Amino acid sequence: MKPEDYPGATSQLKLNTRVFELYKGKYRSLPELARTMEISTGQIYKVKQGKRGINQKFIIGATKAFPGYDLDDLFYVDSEGQPVKSSKKWSEFREYALQKYPSELDEDLITMIEGLIERQRAKNNDDGK
């Protein structure tokens, strides 16, 4: 299953983060943020540079580093800079995500991503009115 198999999807969905905007007011450096998130300094720099995707460990670490923030404050989903278009096929998305990222994503994380996508869709629909 590929992203283009989903009706209305024009490009691959990407999970992005606001962690790099938020850390400046709370942490002195990215290595300090990485220690708090319990991930390697290399991982945090690679995610920041776009050389590595956001995985489950990064998401869990972000919630540790920013306990007062909701997931939708820390992360957002888009499709290569474009608003995410509607697709009702969550079972197919879930299947695709588990096949594409079998060791990075579990059921709970996929459910969180689905929620982020739905919130983004609702926001886009509200902005378009």
Within 13 Å and on the Cβ side, how many CA atoms surround 94?
13
Q: Indicate the pTM of the whole model.
A: 0.58
Q: In the chain, where are the structural domains located?
A: 3-127
Instruction: Give mean pLDDT, residues 8-29.
Output: 80
Compute the average pLDDT of residues 31-41: 96
pLDDT of residue 97: 74
- Residue 67 predicted with pLDDT over 90: yes
Higher pLDDT among residues 13 and 39, named by residue? 39
What pairing do the DSSP bridges indicate for beta strands 75-78 and 14-17?
antiparallel
Q: In this model, does residue 124 exceed pLDDT 80? A: no
pLDDT of residue 23: 92
Torsion of CA 14, 80, 89, 61, to 10 degrees: 10
The pLDDT value given to residue 42: 95
Least confident of 7-21, 57-71, 77-91, 114-128: 77-91
Token pair, residue 101, equals 């990222």
> Residue 79: which pLDDT band, with cuts at 50, 70 and 90?
low
